[in-house]
Amino acid sequence: MTREEAIEELKKAYPKKCIEVNYVLKGGFDDHDKPLGQALDMAIEALEQEPLTDREQRIFLSAMGREERVCREVDAEHPNENSEDTLLSICRSITRKVKGALWG
């Protein structure tokens, strides 16, 4: 399935609602106010965004590698009792999330 096909399928899944037009109820309008409608809006928006090119991915990951080295040094100079709250762990979390978004 392509991204465009996925977007079209998501658009078909919106919950429907009725609204009053000239004192008559008309149905079949997409309901963007309900939680499902809002979730679909977010999913469609994410799919419509242009993905990173191969070169952009490489530059980002290279920059994150350099940032990890800096974070490791700062963490060593300023130890933190909570290991989940170190700059290095935050940096690795960002890298993991971006890799997950890029490659699933």
For every one of its 104 residues, what pLDDT tens digit does the chain have, with 9 covering 90 and above?
777 888 888 888 877 888 888 888 887 788 888 888 888 888 888 888 877 788 888 888 888 889 899 888 988 888 877 767 788 888 888 888 888 777 76
Distance, CA of 82 to CA of 36 (rounded, Å): 37
- Please tell me whether residues 58 and 99 are part of one structural domain: yes
- Please tell me whether residues 58 and 93 are part of one structural domain: yes
Beta bridge partners of 21: 24
Total structural domains in the chain? Answer: 2
**What pLDDT shows up at residue 83?**
67
- Please tell me whether residues 83 and 98 are part of one structural domain: yes
**What pLDDT shows up at residue 21?**
83
CB atoms within 10 A of CB 15: 14
Q: Which domain holds residue 41?
A: 3-48
- Please tell me whether residues 74 and 37 are part of one structural domain: no
**What pLDDT shows up at residue 87?**
87
- Please tell me whether residues 99 and 69 are part of one structural domain: yes
- Please tell me whether residues 42 and 67 are part of one structural domain: no
- Please tell me whether residues 81 and 59 are part of one structural domain: yes
